Every structure is written in structure tokens, then in C-alpha cells.
Amino acid sequence: MPGLTRWWSSRSDTDRIEIYTRWSFHVTLVGLPFVLLLATVSAYRGRGVVWDLALAVAALVTTGACIVVAETGFRRAVVPRPALVVALVAGATTVGLGLQVTAARDADGVPSPAGPWFVGLVAAGVLVALSVTVPYRPLVGGSLVAGVLSAAVGAARGVPLLGAVIVGLSIVVALVGFVGAFRFSVWLLDVVREQERARGVQAQLAVAEERLRFARDLHDVMGRNLSAIAVKSQLAEQLVRRGRPEAADEVAAIGALAGSSLAEVREVVRGYRAVDLGSELAGARSVLRAAGIDCVVQGEDADLTEQAQVVLGWVVREAVTNVLRHGSGGSCTIAVVESGPDVSLTVTNTATGDVGAWGSGLTGLSERLAAAGGRLSAQRVGADFVLVAEVPA
């Protein structure tokens, strides 16, 4: 028992429900021959050992075929047609043999009451096996057919018509409720399975979203910083060649920028990366001026919500990266303007050549803005490249 307890405890809730449902079906089907035996004994008239053995074999074959049909359905595979045919043929044979065994009347000429119930019991076994894969409406139809056959058997054995109808209706009601309960168990198991699959998909989506966040943040963080390091390295090289003492300051600035980049990457990995619009604007002005680009910042004192500052901070970072990579010097203007419920950030810089399609940076910005209820546009206007981001203020 301890081993069984550990095995049961190690299963998930979905596995436990499936095991319980599956074995409920199997135990019910295994009990079918014993119930048929009780129905036979209650009205046994004795037709010989051969008839008894034939009935027992037919009942066992019916049970085995029904178990195969049910188990195949639980495994979500196509029910093999031979097993279904065997279950139907063996079930019909079991009913026929049972009717023969209980066909004799007693001394008072009263027919056996077990005949109609043979039809109902065998139909219950077959319908329970089919309920794993067959919808409820066809099962109700099968119950009605079994009820009609039961009433016909009763009427053929001399039961008054009203009594035969009542027996048939009783069997129909019993089958509809009995098979319906098993069909509901299968439906409940399907719902639990679907929920488990949904949780698995949700977990995969969460992992994919985290990977996307990491890639996007890493691109935005390292893009501008590496561009700034490259610019400052070129400046330091020129200063060293000329023997200027300012070279030491530029090298120190490069080291500080590398250290801050490492700290930002660690924050990205931890998921605690915070962006402030004011600091990003100040950093953009410093980096662009160090690269020889005249930078003008307007509206940096705008009173914005934290979400708007974070999103626009990422826009500034990516825009400055693009200016350093693709700009042609000259000037760059960054303007923050509040207009009603929205705030817009416009970055205008001199551009040369074909702007081309959006890269991963602008695509990531567009996704960030869309998540915050904003939008992004980027296009050439004359000799300038204009990037406009709008978000709720």
C-alpha cells in the first residue's frame, strides 16, 4: 500500500481524474457478466450445460470487446472497427442466448421477467463503451432502440401491452441516466485535459514573451551604449594622435559607459530595467554632442505618467542609436509635446541615402507603444528623417 500511495501522490490532478474515470468504466464493464448471471439465475429454467457455457462465453466476449472500445477511446485513438463489430455481434448473441435460457415458463405458465432486462443490460454495456467517443444524442437514440426492443420482447413473451410499454420506458429512462452519467464523466475529463493544455500553452507564451522582452531590452540598451562607445573611442584616438590631454577624460568616459552598460545588462537579465525620460534625454544630448551632432531638446520638463516616461525613454534611446548609426551629422532635434490626452515625442535628424525598411529596433518600439496604447511612425521628410511616437499622457 505505501508504494501505491506514493504512486498515486506522484500523479497530477489530471492524471488522477483520468485514472478514476477510466477505471470506473472498466469496473462497470467487468461487472456486466455478473449482472447478467444474476438476471439469469433469477429466472433460470435449465436448458443444459451447453447453453449455459455458450451464454457465459458470449457475455465474456461482449465485455472484452466493450473494454477494448472504451480503452481505445480513452487513448484518443480511432476505435477499431473489428472491436466495435465484435461488441455488437457478441452483444446480440448474448441477448439471444439469454432469451433462450430464460424462455421456459413456470408451472403456472408465467413467462420469465428477465427477458427484457437482458436487452437493457447488454445495451447498457455497449452504450457505456461507446460513450467515450460518441456524443450524447446518438447514445440517447441507442437507449430508445433498446427500450423498444425490450418492450417487444416483453410483449412477445405474453406480457400485457401496457406492462411491456412500462418496462420499455423504464429501461429507456435507466439507460439515458446511466449512460449520461458516464458521458458526463468523459466530457469532464476532456475539459480538464483542455485546461491542462491551455496552461501549457500559457507557460510557453510566457517564456516566449520573456525572451522577446530580453531581446528587445538588450537591443535597446546595448545599441546606444555601444554606438556611444564607438564614437568616444574614435574621438579618444584622434586626441591621442594629437597629443591632447583631453584623451584621458574620453578614455575614462568610455570606461564609465562600459561599466554602466554592464549594470544595465544585469538589470535587463533580472527584469528590473527602469527607464527615465529625463535621464535619457540628458544622455542623448551628451552622446550626440560628443559625436559632433548639434542636439536640441525641447519639452524635457513635461509632466508625464510613469508609463509614458518609460515608453518614451525607450524611444529616445533607440532614436539616438539610429542617429549615431545612420545619421549624416548635422543637427538633431528632440521635441516632447503634450496635446490633450496624448503626448508626442518627435526626433528629427539629417539623413542621407535610402532609409529602408524598419529594423528590429523600430519594430520593438512599435510593439512597446502598441502595448501602451500608442503608435509609432517613421519616414523621410525632405532631407530629414522624422520619427514620431505618441502615447497617452
pLDDT at res. 269? 62
> Do 144 and 172 form a contact (C-beta atoms < 8 A)?
yes
Residue 228 CB neighbours (<10 A): 24
Residue 335 has pLDDT above 90, yes or no: yes
Quick one: 276 and 370 in the same domain? yes
43: nearest Cα among 122, 125, 99, 124: 99
Residue 85 has pLDDT above 60, yes or no: yes
Residue 197 lies in a domain: yes
- Domain limits at 67? 9-202
> Do 378 and 346 form a contact (C-beta atoms < 8 A)?
no
Q: Does residue 50 or residue 352 have the better pLDDT? A: 50
Q: Does residue 319 or residue 215 have the better pLDDT? A: 319
Quick one: 45 and 178 in the same domain? yes
| Final residue belonging to a domain, choices 152, 172, 202 | 202
Quick one: 178 and 281 in the same domain? no
CA 344, CA 375: separation in Å to the nearest integer? 10
CA 4, CA 338: separation in Å to the nearest integer? 68
Domain total in the chain:
2
Quick one: 102 and 242 in the same domain? no
Quick one: 275 and 382 in the same domain? yes
Q: Does residue 350 or residue 348 have the better pLDDT? A: 348
Residue 3 lies in a domain: no
Summarize the confidence of residues 204-225 as an average pLDDT. Answer: 72
Residue 248 lies in a domain: yes
Q: Does residue 374 or residue 220 have the better pLDDT? A: 374
Residue 128 has pLDDT above 90, yes or no: yes
Quick one: 119 and 37 in the same domain? yes
Instruction: Of 56-65, 80-89, 135-144, 242-251, give the lowest mean pLDDT range.
Output: 242-251
pLDDT at res. 322? 82
The β-bridge partners of 384 are 350, 381
Q: Does residue 365 or residue 376 have the better pLDDT? A: 376
> Do 154 and 120 form a contact (C-beta atoms < 8 A)?
no
pLDDT at res. 228? 77
pLDDT at res. 327? 64
Residue 74 has pLDDT above 90, yes or no: no
Quick one: 195 and 217 in the same domain? no
Residue 105 has pLDDT above 80, yes or no: no
Quick one: 184 and 41 in the same domain? yes
Tally of CA atoms within 13 A in the half-sphere of 96 that contains its CB: 10
Q: For position 227, which CATH number holds?
A: 3.30.565.10
CA 77, CA 381: separation in Å to the nearest integer? 62
pLDDT at res. 387? 92
Residue 366 lies in a domain: yes
Q: Does residue 267 or residue 376 have the better pLDDT? A: 376
pLDDT tens for residues 253-294?
777 777 777 777 766 665 555 567 888 888 888 788 877 788
User: Which long-range contacts does 24-29 make (Cβ < 8 Å, 24+ apart)?
Assistant: 24/182, 24/185, 25/70, 25/74, 25/128, 25/129, 25/132, 25/182, 26/67, 26/70, 26/71, 28/128, 28/182, 29/63, 29/66, 29/67, 29/70, 29/125, 29/128, 29/129
The overall average pLDDT reported for the chain is 82
322: nearest Cα among 368, 294, 362: 362
Quick one: 170 and 238 in the same domain? no
Quick one: 164 and 225 in the same domain? no
